[in-house]
Amino acid sequence: MKRNSGARDLAAESTGETLPPIDFDVVALDDALEGLQQLEPRLAQVIELHYFGGLTYDQIAAAVGTSAATVHRDIRLARAWLLNEIGGTRPA
C-alpha cells in the first residue's frame, strides 16, 4: 500500500519544507509507533497529534507543555527513528 494517495503533507505545510512522500507499510508504521511509545512517549505523542490529529506545532506545544521549537525537533527525530524502524524509503 502506498502512502502517496494525493494526501497533503501536513508537516511540509506547517514548516514550509517540501518533503517527498514516503513509501511504507501501514502495519509496520503502527508497530514502529508502538515501539516509539515504549521508548519515548512524548515523541510518539507529537507524531500522533501532528500527523493524525492535524495539530500545528504551536497547538502541540501547548498540549504537551513545551515550545514549538522542541516540537519541531521532536517530530524530526521521531520521523527519522520511524523511517529507520519501518525501512521507509524516499523516492529517487
Contact status, residue 15 vs residue 73, Cβ threshold 8 Å:
no
Beta bridge pairs of residue 23? 89
pTM: 0.67
The answer to whether 8 and 79 are in contact (CB under 8 A) is: no
Distance CA 17, CA 11 (A): 7
Work out the mean pLDDT of the chain and round it to a whole number: 81
Per-residue pLDDT at 79: 93
17: confidence class by pLDDT, cuts 50, 70, 90? low
Q: Is the pLDDT of residue 37 over 90?
A: yes
C-alpha cell at 3: 502512502
Q: What is the pLDDT of residue 25?
A: 76
In the predicted model, is pLDDT for residue 92 greater than 90? no
> How is residue 58 written as a grid cell?
504551536
Residue 22: is its pLDDT beyond 50? Answer: yes
User: Which parts of the chain fold into alpha helices (H)?
Assistant: 10-15, 26-39, 41-47, 57-64, 68-86
